[in-house]
Amino acid sequence: MDAPASAVELRQVSRTFGEVRAVDDVSFSVAAGEFFSMLGPSGSGKTTCLRLIAGFEKPDAGPGKILLLEKDATALPPFERDVNTVFQDYALFPHMTVDENVAYGPRMRGVAAGERKRRAGELLELVGLAGYQARKPGELSGGQRQRVALARALINEPKVLLLDEPLGALDLKLREQMQAELKALKRRLGITFIYVTHDQGEALSMSDRVAVFNRGRIEQLDSPSRLYAQPATTFVADFVGGANLIRGALAQKLTGQDGPFALRPERLRLGTKDAVAESQELSMIGKVLEVSYHGASHRYTVSVDGQKLEVAVPSSKEVSARLDEEVTLYVPRTALIAVAERGT
């Protein structure tokens, strides 16, 4: 028989806690081998979705179904699902050694001690922790603990690995290193990763596809590049990559339509007041309210007809617009993306 093409599928799944619709009629399908992220602000329903997949939560009564490897798993308890979860706080056993932590799953399944040790050694090697077998979690750094948690999940050879903000407790540099390691690990193992994060940069850089959550619903499910280039709603445009939203009078003035339009800060070009627009460029006059330095770019906040627009200028470009100076902003027509209005 062919291997299942879909690793996880949610069909019309809802989960309500009292008055709160944490997950509201959500449907999506994750392909086998995909790196799939659920991205959204705090409280948007990502973790509840992950817990539904793991079986720690049950969907509300109704049509909702959860399929794992194309089989109905809605009623299965967590231990009968071919998934493993890695949590932000690692959830390691503090009194056990690294070795014992990693070998926990096989021990519960009655695998012999020698075989357990051999497998744990292999997994620790895989996550770059060979030689740390005898340590206790308290003797490891945050990044090392997270690697132990990964090894402990992977030793069970799950078809699907669920990761709930697994890098949330790490500092930026370690986060970036672990992001690269997770991606490489996923490529080597070929298993499906479902990743929860509220960090848009993390979701964009790691995933094959990203589901953007807002108030228990998916606003857009797309590849990272499409999410960035073609946001469907004002919420997605703002949450993923921080777009300017052009509405009302300014939108009318520029395009003859009400908008809203999303406009990425790096698509705006900043010139002196009397500079000349290139063909196909729209222009508007504004006043510099703020300038901030971000290493690779300078950010200008420019007020245009009472609306604040963010402009990102690569630091390599010579632009010397000062505070309170009048400037002209140029926009290629194609940079204005029509989006649907959606409350943030």
Q: How far is the CB of 175 from ligand ATP (least distance, A)?
A: 16
Query: Contacts with ligand ATP in 190-229 (CB under 6 A)?
Result: 198
Residue 344 lies near ligand ATP (rule: CB under 6 A): no
Question: How many residues at the interface with ligand ATP, by CB under 6 A?
Answer: 12
Q: Sort strands 192-197 and 160-164 into parallel, antiparallel or unpaired.
A: parallel
Question: Looking at this protein, which amino acid is placed at residue 49?
Answer: C
Site stretch for ligand ATP (CB under 6 A), options 17-25, 142-150, 204-212, 269-277: 17-25
CA distance 138 to 326: 57
Nearest to ligand ATP of 159, 198 (CB atom)? 198
Instruction: Check: CB of residue 114 under 8 Å from CB of residue 138.
Output: no
Nearest to ligand ATP of 53, 270 (CB atom)? 53
Candidates 4, 6, 11, 20; binder of ligand ATP (CB under 6 A) is: 20
Residue 22 lies near ligand ATP (rule: CB under 6 A): yes
Site of tokens 């793991």: 54
Query: Contacts with ligand ATP in 34-63 (CB under 6 A)?
Result: 40, 42-48
Nearest to ligand ATP of 196, 302 (CB atom)? 196
Q: How far is the CB of 23 from ligand ATP (least distance, A)?
A: 7
CA distance 273 to 326: 6
Nearest to ligand ATP of 19, 274 (CB atom)? 19
Residues 6+ apart with CB under 8 A from 108: none
Q: How far is the CB of 217 from ligand ATP (least distance, A)?
A: 11
Kindly compute the dihedral angle of the four CA atoms of residues 266, 267, 268, 274, in this order, to the nearest 10 degrees.
120
Whole-number Cα distances in Å, 234 to 130, 167, 242, 276: 47, 28, 10, 31
Instruction: Check: CB of residue 6 under 8 Å from CB of residue 31.
Output: yes
Nearest to ligand ATP of 47, 85 (CB atom)? 47
Residues that bind ligand ATP (CB under 6 A): 17, 20, 22, 40, 42-48, 198
